[in-house]
Structure 1
Amino acid sequence: MRWRATDPAFTVLGVTAPDPTTSIPLALFDDVVKWSQRRTDLGAWAVEPGSALHGDDRWADPYRVSHAAQHRLHSAIDNLHAVKLLLVDAATLPTFATFTLIRAGMENAAVVSWLLQPADQPERVRRRLQLEAGNAKNRDTALTLMLRNAGPDEQAAAAPLAEVLERLRGIGEAHGIPGREIDKRLPGWADIVKAATKHPRLSDIQLFQWRMCSALSHAEEWPSHILLSTPVGDDVDGVVTLHVETPAGLAQVSFGLASGMLRDAINLYDTRRMASRTA
C-alpha cells in the first residue's frame, strides 16, 4: 500500500500472507479443538439441579441465564476454531480477517464472564434480563426495517417491543430487581472486556489487543501503520510505499489472549452449572 507522508490517507495495493505453520506452534490450538468437539455434546453443558445456574434459570425463566451464556460460548468457540482452520488447515494468515475472528471470540467470551462473575444471584439475573432487553431493542429495530412493507399478518407475528420489555421488568421485579435497572443501557464493549480480565497485569494488554482487533475489523488505519507495515524504498513525491503483512507472532499473541479469555469464561460457566462447585 502507499501512504503519503503528509496525509494519513492511503491506497491499498496489496498485502502478503506468510505461511503461519513455520512460526506458530500447533499446540496453541489444542484447547479450541477440544472446545469445538465439546460443542456437539449437549450433556457437557447441562445445568445441574442445585447449582447456581439452576437457580438463576428458574428466576429468569424463560430467559435463562445458562442459555445466554451457552449461545455466546458457542459463538466464541466457533470464531476461534475458524482461526485454527485458516492458520493450520488452510495454512494461510489473512492480513485482516484473522483479527476479525479473534475479536468476536474475545467479545463473546467477555460477555459470558461479565454475565456470570457476580457472586449474588439477583445481579446475575439482572444482567441476563438487561442483555435480553438489548436484544429485544436490536431485534425491534431490524424487524421494523424488514416489516415496513410487510402485510398485517407478518407485522402481527412480531411481539411488540413494549410487551417484551414489560415482561422482562415483571420477571425482575418479582425478585426485587427494579425495572429501571433492566432498562439500563448495556456497558460498552471496552467496559465488558475490561471486566472480564481476571489477571490485573494483563488488563491493559488484553484491552489493547481487543482495541487493535476491533480497529482492524473496521479497517482503521492506525494498526496497519503501526503494527503491520514496513516502508519499501524511499518516498516519491511525498508518498511512501508500505509492505503490509501480519506478523505471525502478533496473531499468536492475539489468539493466545482470546483463548485465555474463553478458557476463563468456560471455567466460570462450569463452576456455575455444577452443583458440587457452586460459588
Structure 2
Amino acid sequence: MEAGFDVEGALSRACDQWEGLGGRVKDCADAGADPASQLRLDNQAADRATSSTLAVTHYVRERAWNIARMLDHLHDMVFGTASGDLRLDYSVMYPLMRAALEDSAAITWLLQPAEQQERLRRALRILRTDALFLVQNHARLAAAASGSPGIAAEEAERVEAHMAEEVERTNIHFAALATGIGIDPDELLRRLNTADPLRSVYGEQSVTFVSWKLLSDLSHFSMTMLRHLSSSRPELDGAQLASVSLIFFATEINRAVADAIVLMEIRMSAPAANTAS
C-alpha cells in the first residue's frame, strides 16, 4: 500500500465479500453430505466402531453454519446504515472475525487429508477436545461454586459428581471409538489447541495465523489498544490504523472461508462429481 491508496474502497470491497461467502458456506452446510461422499463414508466408518453416533458430518456442518452466522452479522453491521456509510464497530467485529477464521481453519484442517484414517484421527482429536473441555470446565465451575453465596452446596456437589461421571464416559467412548477404527487411543490424549489447525494449515509465520493472533488479542477489550488504533495514522490518505489492519483481517478471513468451501464441496459431493483426491 502507498499514499493515495483508496483505503475505504479496499475495505468496502473486502467486507462486501462476506455476504457472498456466507451464502456459499451456508449452502454447503444446508445441502449436507451426499450419501456416497467421502465425508459420509468417514461418518459411517466411525459409526461402525461404536453404538453411538459420532456425527462427523454434523460437526463440520455446525462449524460451517457458524461461519455463515458470523459473516452475516459482520456484513449487516458494516453495511446496514441508512446513510450508506461504513459502520465499523471494532470491539464487536473483532470477536466475530476471529470466530469465522477459527471455524474456517478447523474445517480445512479436518477435511484436508486425502486419507480417510487421518481425517478420522483429526476428527476424533477435535471432538474429544471439545467434549472434555465442556465437561471438565463444568466440573471446575461446580467445584468453585460450592459454598458460594446464593448457591446451595448440595446443588454444586451434585453437578460436580455428574460431570465427573461425564468425564469418565467421554474417555471410555472415545477410547472405544479409536480402537474400533484402528487408531491408538493414546493419540487422542494429546490436547488440540485452538491455534493448532491454523498453524498446521497456514503456518505460524503466515498472514492468516498472525491475523488470528492479533484478532484474539483485540477481542479482549482494551481502551488503550482501541484508542491507539483510532489515533495512529499510517501515510495512507490519513486513514486510521484500525481501518488499514481491518483490510488485512478481512482479506485473510475471505481466503480462509474460500479454502474451507473448496474442501467442503470436494468431501461432501458424490464421487462422480468429485475428481479431487
The two structures have a TM-score, normalised by structure 1, of 0.74
1:273 aligns with 2:264: no
Tell me which residue corresponds to 2:185.
Answer: 179
Amino acid aligned to 1:182:
L
**Of residues 51, 70, 78 in structure 2, which corresponds to 1:87?**
78
Moved more, 212-221 or 136-145: 212-221
CA distance in structure 2 between the aligned counterparts of 1:192 and 1:219, rounded to whole angstroms: 25
CA contact (8 A) 1:21 1:88 kept: no
Residue by residue over 1:53-97, the C-alpha shift from the partner in whole angstroms, topping out at 9 and shown as x without a partner, is: 011111223112221111112222222222212211144112333
Amino acid aligned to 1:192:
P
1:101: how far off? 1.6
CA contact (8 A) 2:100 2:253 kept: yes
Query: What is the alpha-carbon root mean square deviation over aligned residues?
Result: 3.4
1:113: how far off? 0.9
1:39: how far off? 6.7
Q: 1:107 to 1:226 in 2, by over 3 A?
A: same
CA contact (8 A) 1:115 1:128 kept: yes
CA contact (8 A) 1:98 1:251 kept: no
The two structures have a TM-score, normalised by structure 2, of 0.74
CA contact (8 A) 1:63 1:128 kept: no
Q: 1:42 to 1:270 in 2, by over 3 A?
A: closer
1:50 aligns with 2:33: no
1:66 aligns with 2:21: no
CA distance in structure 2 between the aligned counterparts of 1:70 and 1:227, rounded to whole angstroms: 35
Q: Within 5 A, what are the aligned runs for 1:89-104? A: 89-90=80-81, 91-104=86-99
Q: 1:154 to 1:224 in 2, by over 3 A?
A: closer
CA distance in structure 1 between the aligned counterparts of 2:29 and 2:73, rounded to whole angstroms: 24
CA contact (8 A) 2:78 2:88 kept: yes
Residue by residue over 1:91-120, the C-alpha shift from the partner in whole angstroms, topping out at 9 and shown as x without a partner, is: 411233322221111111111111111111
Q: 1:40 to 1:95 in 2, by over 3 A?
A: closer
Amino acid aligned to 1:208:
V
Structure 1's unaligned 5+ residue stretches are 1-19, 232-243
Amino acid aligned to 2:173:
R
Q: Which structure features the higher share of helix residues?
A: 2
Query: Which secondary structure does the structure 1 equivalent of 2:183 belong to?
Result: coil
Q: 1:72 to 1:225 in 2, by over 3 A?
A: same
1:33: how far off? 1.9
Q: 1:221 to 1:120 in 2, by over 3 A?
A: farther
Q: Which structure features the higher share of strand residues?
A: 1
CA distance in structure 1 between the aligned counterparts of 2:26 and 2:264, rounded to whole angstroms: 17
**Of residues 117, 120, 133 in structure 2, which corresponds to 1:138?**
133
1:146: how far off? 4.6
1:120 aligns with 2:139: no
Q: 1:155 to 1:223 in 2, by over 3 A?
A: closer
Amino acid aligned to 1:34:
G
Query: Which secondary structure does the structure 2 equivalent of 1:150 belong to?
Result: helix
1:215 aligns with 2:210: no
CA distance in structure 2 between the aligned counterparts of 1:24 and 1:83, rounded to whole angstroms: 16
1:28 aligns with 2:30: no
How many aligned residue pairs are there?
A: 244
Tell me which residue corresponds to 1:194.
Answer: 199
Structure 2's unaligned 5+ residue stretches are 1-5, 48-52, 147-153, 234-238
1:226: how far off? 7.5
Amino acid aligned to 1:47:
A
Q: 1:271 to 1:223 in 2, by over 3 A?
A: farther
CA distance in structure 2 between the aligned counterparts of 1:168 and 1:29, rounded to whole angstroms: 40
